[in-house]
Structure 1
Amino acid sequence: MTPTSPTPWAHDDRPEAVGRTPRRRLRIGIGGMAIESSEFCPHRSSYEDFRVTRGADLLARYTWTGPDDPMAAQVEWVPLVHAVSLPGGPVVRETFDRIRAELTDRIRDAAPLDGLVYDIHGAMSVVGLTDAEAELTAAVREATGRDTLISAAMDLHGNVSHDFARHLDLLTAHRLAPHEDAWETRERAARKLVERLVTGAGRPHRAWVQVPVLLPGEKTSTRLEPAKSLYGSLADVEALDGVTDAAIWVGYAWADEPRCRAAVVVTGDDAELCLTQAGMLARGYWDARREFAFVGPTGQADECIAKAVASTARPFLISDSGDNPTAGGAGDLAHMLGRLLANDDLAAGRATALHPGLHDPEAVAACFAAGTGAEITLRVGGHVSAGTGPHAEPCELTGEIVSLQILDGVRAAAVRQGGVTVVLTERRKPFHTRADFGELDPTGYDLVVVKIGYLEPELYDMAADWLLALTPGGVDQDLLRLGHRHVARPLYPFDDEGFEEVELAPQLL
C-alpha cells in the first residue's frame, strides 16, 4: 500500500519542481490546549487556571523555533495560541469553548498552513463531554482543512481514542516517566512533521490499537520493568525502514470515560510493517499487565510515617500520592498533615517533618495578616474538597508562623506545630525542585512529605530513602475504590479472572 498524500504543497505551484526558483519556506502553526483532569477531584478548572501564550512568547517556549536552528531556513513558524494548566478537576465548558474558539479562529486567520504542531496532553476532561480531545481535534481539523499535516505531541498518560486519533497525521508521546523527555517529545513531533513536508512524503499510515489495561502512572514508571523495556523498544521500532514513529500510551486512570485505557500507534509509510509492529507492542503491553508494580515501596499513611521516623536515612521523603496536584488532585487535603501531627515523635519535636503544598487561601491570608513569628490557630484543608469524605475534613493547626514568601507568584505561609512544619499556599502549587521551597531547606528536616506520586528527578536525588503513601484523594492509587462507572469493560485491573484472551488487532486510521 502507498500512503495517501494530503498535497502539502496545494497552496504553492512548486516552481522548484522544475528548478526555476528556490522552494518557499513552509508555514507551520503551533498551538494547543493541555491539562490532565481528574474526574474524581472536586476542583473545576477555569480560564484563570490556564497560562495562555501567544505571539513571540509562544515561539519562545521552544528551542527549535529560533533563527539558529537548522529548520529556520525551511520553516516560518506561525504562533497561534497555547493554553496549559496545572492538572486539576474537569474543565468548565465555557473555558473549553473559549480556548477552542480562539485556537480555531487563529488557524483560519493564519491559513494557508502546511502543517500544525499540536501541543496537547491527552487527558483533558470537560464537564459535559466524554472525549474532550476528540472534540477539540475535530474542530482543529475542520479549521485547518485536509491539506494541512497535523503532528501531535502528547503525554504518555493521555488517552488515544479512535475518534481523536483519526483527525491526526502524526502523533507521538513521551517515552520516559517521570517525563524528563517532555520537550524532546515536542521537538520530535516538529522535526518529523518538517521532514515529511520537505521531502513531500505526505500523510503516513497510522496503525492504531487500544489495550484493555488502565494503570496509574505510579505503576508504569520507565525507571522499572516492564515499562522500562517496553518504552525502551520504541526507538528500535522507529528505526525500521518504513516506520516514522512508535508510541505507547498508558492512559489516564483518574478519568471515567470509555477512552481511558492504554493505546499503541505506529506511524510510517509501510502499512503492513506498522500494523505488525503495533500489534507486537500491544501484545507485549497486555502480556506484561500483571508485572507492573509501584515505582517504590508503599504503605498506608501511618505506616509510612512510622517507618520514616524510625529510619536513619535523612531526609526521608514520603509521597502523599492521593492528593497529588500534578496528577489532578485538589491539593487541599489535610489527611496527611493530621497523620503527621498524630505521630508522638513528630508532635513532641523529637523528629521533624516538612509538609509543603497544602492549598488553603483563607489560611494563607490569615498568616500574612498576622506576620512572621506570630502564634496562630487555624483550621486548614478542605477548601475545595469539603464534604467529599472523612479524608477531606479540615485539620486543627496551632503553631508559629515561621516563613512568609512568594513562590512562583503564589503566596505561601509556613506554620510549625511541634516538629511538623506545613507550607500553606494560596493557590495549588507543586513542589518538585529545590527552588520550589524558596527559603525553606528541605534537606534540613528528617521527613519531607510532598503531594506527589513518583518522585521528580530533583526530589529523587534528594531522598536518602522514600515511601509512596497510598493516601485517599482525587488521584487515589487504589483505582478499585474510586468507583469508575463509565470506562469500557472488560478492563484490567477492574476485570481479571476469565479475562485472559483479548483481540489486539491494530487498524489503519
Structure 2
Amino acid sequence: MTETSPLPRIAIAGMAIESSTFSPHRAGERDFLRVEGEELITRYDSLRDGDMRDRAAWLPVYYARSIPGGAVLREVYDSIKARICDGLRALVADGEKLDGLFFDIHGAMSVEGMDDAEGDLITAIREVIGADVVVSASMDLHGNVSRTLIENVDIITCYRLAPHEDTWETRDRAIRNLVEALESGVTPRRAWVRVPILLPGEKTSTRVEPAKSLYARIPEIEARPGITDAAIWIGYAWADEPRCHATVVVTGTDDAATARAAEELGRAFWDVRDDFEFVGPPGTLDEGVAAGLAATDTPYFISDSGDNPGAGGTGDVTWTLAQLLQKPELTSDDAPVTLCGSVFDKGALDVLRGHAVGERVSVEVGARVDSGPHGPVLVDGVLHSLHEGDVDAGGIAVIRVGGLHVIVTEFRKAYHDVSDFTSIGLDPVAAQIVVTKIGYLEPELYAIMRGWTLALTPGGVDQDLERLGHHRIQRPMHPFDAFDEVPDLAAEMVG
C-alpha cells in the first residue's frame, strides 16, 4: 500500500464463551458482557497505545463475552449474531468498502441445537461482508477449529500459553497479521491438520512437558521464510461435538513451507501423545485435605476441578462442600482456617440477607443447576460476612463452620485470583487450606501456593473424560481408542 492510499477499513466483532455440553448450565443474557463503540477499540493494547491504531480505520461493531459455562441459549446467541451482522451490514451499505475484520472469539462456544457455533457465526458474517474481506481470528488454544471455520477465516492464531498469560498478546498478533496482510496486498493461505487427540487442559499445560516444548517450537517455525503464523489447538475436551479434537494450523504465503511446517507440528504433537500428565499433583479430595492439614508451609491449595467455572462447570456442584462439612478436623472451633470458594445460590443469598453478621444461620445451598453429583447441602454456622455489588457474583455471603469458611454467591463467580478472596475480607495467604473450583492454578494463586492437590472431583468438566461419556466425537480418538498405525496427518491447504 502506498503512502497516498487510503487506510484500510477494518471492523471488530466477536462472541466468546467456553461451553461444556456436559454442564446443565445455560448461558443467558446476564452472563454476557457487551462492548461496542470506542471502548471496543481501546480494549486492545495495539489499538490503544500501540502502533496499529494509525495504520487502519478501525470500525467497532459489537463484542459479547461470557465466563465459561454451559451451552448458550439459542435466543441469546441469535440476538448477538443479529447485532453483529446488522452492524456489519451498516458498514457496507451504499457500496462502502470493508477491507478487513478482526474476529475475536474463543472457539469452544456451544449453542443449543448447534454443533459448530463459531462456524455458524462466521458463515452468517461472510454472507454480509462477502468473500473478499480479509478475516483474522484470535482464539483460545482450547478452542476447536472446524472445517467451516478454517474455510471462512483467512488468518488464524491462538494462545501459546496455558494458563493464558498471553491472551492480549495473541489478540494483538491477530490484529498485526491482518494489518500487514492488507498493507502487502497478499492474503496468506492456511495449512490445516486435524490431530485425533482430545485431552483436558489440566494435562496439556505449557508449564510442564511435553506441551512446554511443543509450543516452544512455534517461534522458530514462525520465523521461517513464507510463514506468517503457527498455531496449535489442544481443543476443548468437555464438549461432545464432532469438531472437538486437536488441530494445527500454519498460515503463510509459501504453500510448500506452510504445509511442511503444519505436518511437522502435527507429527510432533502425535509423537508425544502418551507423555501428557496432570500439571498438578492429582489425587482424591480426601488426600488433598490430609496433605493440607499436614502441611507446615501454607497455604495449601485444593482444586475442585470437576466443577471449575473457568472451564464450563456450573459453579454450584456441592459434592466437595458436602465432604468438607463432614470433616470435624475442618469444622471444629479449633480447626485451622480453610477457605472454600464457592457455591452460587440466589435463594440462599435472599435468606442470608435477612440475618445480621455474627448470627447463627442454617441454610441449604447449591445444586440448583447441577444436582447430579450431590443435592443441596445444609450449611449450619455463623454468618461471617455479607457483601453486595460484586460485578460477577452480585451478593456474597461467608458462613463460618468452625475453621471452614464457606463462600456462597448470588450468581456464578470463579475464585481464581487473590483479590477475589481479599475483596470479601478473606486472606488466602494466611489460610491453612484454600479449596476453590479451578483446574490448574491461575498465575496469582500459583504464586502464593505452597502445596497443591488437583482433586479429581465430579462435575461438568470432570477430568475423567471417559466418565463423562462422549459419543459424538470423531473416532478413533486418543486416548479413547488404540491406534495400530499413525493416523493421516497430511496438511490440507485452504484459501
Cα deviation code 1:351-374 (max 9, x no counterpart): 221001211111112112212111
Question: d(CA) in 1 for partners of 2:458 and 2:122?
Answer: 34
1:270 to partner: Cα distance: 0.5
TM score, norm. by length of structure 2? 0.96
Name whichever of 182-191 and 366-375 sits farther off: 366-375
For the pair 1:490 / 2:471, whether they are aligned, the reply is no
Q: Paired residue for 2:360?
A: 375
- Mapping of 1:347-386 within 5 angstroms? 347-348=331-332, 349-386=334-371
- Check whether the contact 1:237–1:243 (CA below 8 A) recurs between aligned residues: yes
For the pair 1:190 / 2:158, whether they are aligned, the reply is no
Cα deviation code 1:372-392 (max 9, x no counterpart): 111100111102113x2xx23
Q: Paired residue for 1:98?
A: 79
Give the residue type in structure 1 aligned to 2:169.
E
Question: d(CA) in 2 for partners of 1:233 and 1:69?
Answer: 27
Cα deviation code 1:451-500 (max 9, x no counterpart): 0000000000010111100000000000010011101100011112x444
Q: Paired residue for 2:89?
A: 108
For the pair 1:31 / 2:16, whether they are aligned, the reply is no
Question: d(CA) in 1 for partners of 2:22 and 2:416?
Answer: 23
Aligned partner of 1:242 among 226, 241, 247: 226
Question: d(CA) in 1 for partners of 2:104 and 2:62?
Answer: 10
- Check whether the contact 1:323–1:473 (CA below 8 A) recurs between aligned residues: yes
Give the residue type in structure 2 aligned to 1:229.
S
**What is the RMSD computed on CA atoms of the aligned residues?**
1.2
Cα deviation code 1:381-421 (max 9, x no counterpart): 102113x2xx2311121001111113335211000112110
**For 1:332, what is the secondary structure of its paired residue?**
coil
Q: Paired residue for 1:270?
A: 254
Q: Paired residue for 1:65?
A: 47
Q: Paired residue for 1:10?
A: none
**For 2:488, what is the secondary structure of its paired residue?**
coil
For the pair 1:442 / 2:452, whether they are aligned, the reply is no
1:281 to partner: Cα distance: 0.4
Q: Paired residue for 1:321?
A: 305
**For 1:197, what is the secondary structure of its paired residue?**
helix
For the pair 1:53 / 2:61, whether they are aligned, the reply is no
Give the residue type in structure 2 aligned to 1:195.
E
Give the residue type in structure 2 aligned to 1:90.
A
- Mapping of 1:91-240 within 5 angstroms? 91-111=72-92, 112-201=97-186, 203-240=187-224
Name whichever of 367-376 and 119-128 sits farther off: 367-376
Question: d(CA) in 2 for partners of 1:195 and 1:339?
Answer: 55
Q: Paired residue for 1:473?
A: 459
- Check whether the contact 1:490–1:499 (CA below 8 A) recurs between aligned residues: no
Question: d(CA) in 1 for partners of 2:114 and 2:341?
Answer: 34
Give the residue type in structure 2 aligned to 1:168.
V
Give the residue type in structure 2 aligned to 1:34.
A
**For 1:376, what is the secondary structure of its paired residue?**
strand
Give the residue type in structure 1 aligned to 2:125.
V
Question: d(CA) in 2 for partners of 1:422 and 1:350?
Answer: 14
In the alignment, structure 1 segments of 5+ residues that lack a partner are 1-13
For the pair 1:77 / 2:58, whether they are aligned, the reply is yes
**For 1:423, what is the secondary structure of its paired residue?**
strand
TM score, norm. by length of structure 1? 0.93
Aligned partner of 1:507 among 482, 492, 495: 492
Question: d(CA) in 2 for partners of 1:466 and 1:266?
Answer: 36
Question: d(CA) in 2 for partners of 1:72 and 1:342?
Answer: 57
1:73 to partner: Cα distance: 2.6
CA distance 1:262–1:440, shift in 2 (3 Å):
same
Matched positions, count: 485
Aligned partner of 2:314 among 302, 321, 330: 330
**For 1:502, what is the secondary structure of its paired residue?**
coil
- Check whether the contact 1:381–1:392 (CA below 8 A) recurs between aligned residues: no
**For 1:156, what is the secondary structure of its paired residue?**
coil
In the alignment, structure 2 segments of 5+ residues that lack a partner are none
**For 1:70, what is the secondary structure of its paired residue?**
coil
Same amino acid, percent of matched pairs: 49
1:217 to partner: Cα distance: 0.3
Name whichever of 460-469 and 430-439 sits farther off: 430-439
Give the residue type in structure 2 aligned to 1:118.
F
